[in-house]
Amino acid sequence: MRVAVVGGHGQVALHLHPILVERGHTPVALVRRPEYEAELSGLGAETRLLDIEGADAEAWDAAFAGCEAVVFTAGGGPDGNVERKRTVDLEGSLKSIGTAERLGIRRFVQVSAIGVDDPLPEDTGEVWKAYVAAKRDSDNALRNSSLDWTIIRPGRLVDEPGTGRVSLAATLPRGDVPRADVAAVVAAVLDEPAAIGRQWTLVAGETAVDEAVRTAGA
């Protein structure tokens, strides 16, 4: 498959591209800046420019053209900017969903976050509230779409080396997970029909990635 990766220069995406190539797919990294092209090409990805916040529908269509699946792994980042939690994390997801539906791209995998449906403490900061609301609402929109969706809700993302072993289930206690292992799970669920229509929490664990995906989908 040709896989449009929204947030194509993000930390999860940089792990994802070579894994997709290894599994026989072609990653299409959607990014804001042309200077990323050499790095992404070295990871096996095709690069297309897309400003998530500013692009019109025509630009979104061009970015997704020819793709057979979408991975949404974009985020506004830990910049303290409440507005970008809406314009990137939420609206970027909504635009991706809408473009996929418009172009007839059925398969869609979204990287969300653990526990975003849970009530927040009263003293939660404004930025974190905005982030959780954006992830919660974008997940809800994807579940209510016409797409063949999978939602992955990882625990706290860490930059430790991937282990290739995870825990994956509908609900799990909070925990850490390497970004490399999140990428491996995303690639694996793309190839697993039983993952369609499923929302899973992901943390570090003891089960090999492909086995964890098969078991969760059984």
Residues known to be catalytic: 131
Q: Phi and psi of 76, rounded to 5°?
A: -70, -15
* Residue 146: half-sphere exposure toward Cβ, Cα within 13 Å: 9
Q: 189: closest CA among 203, 176, 200?
A: 200
* Helical segments of 65-117, H only: 82-84, 91-103
* Cα dihedral 24/30/86/174 (nearest 10): 30
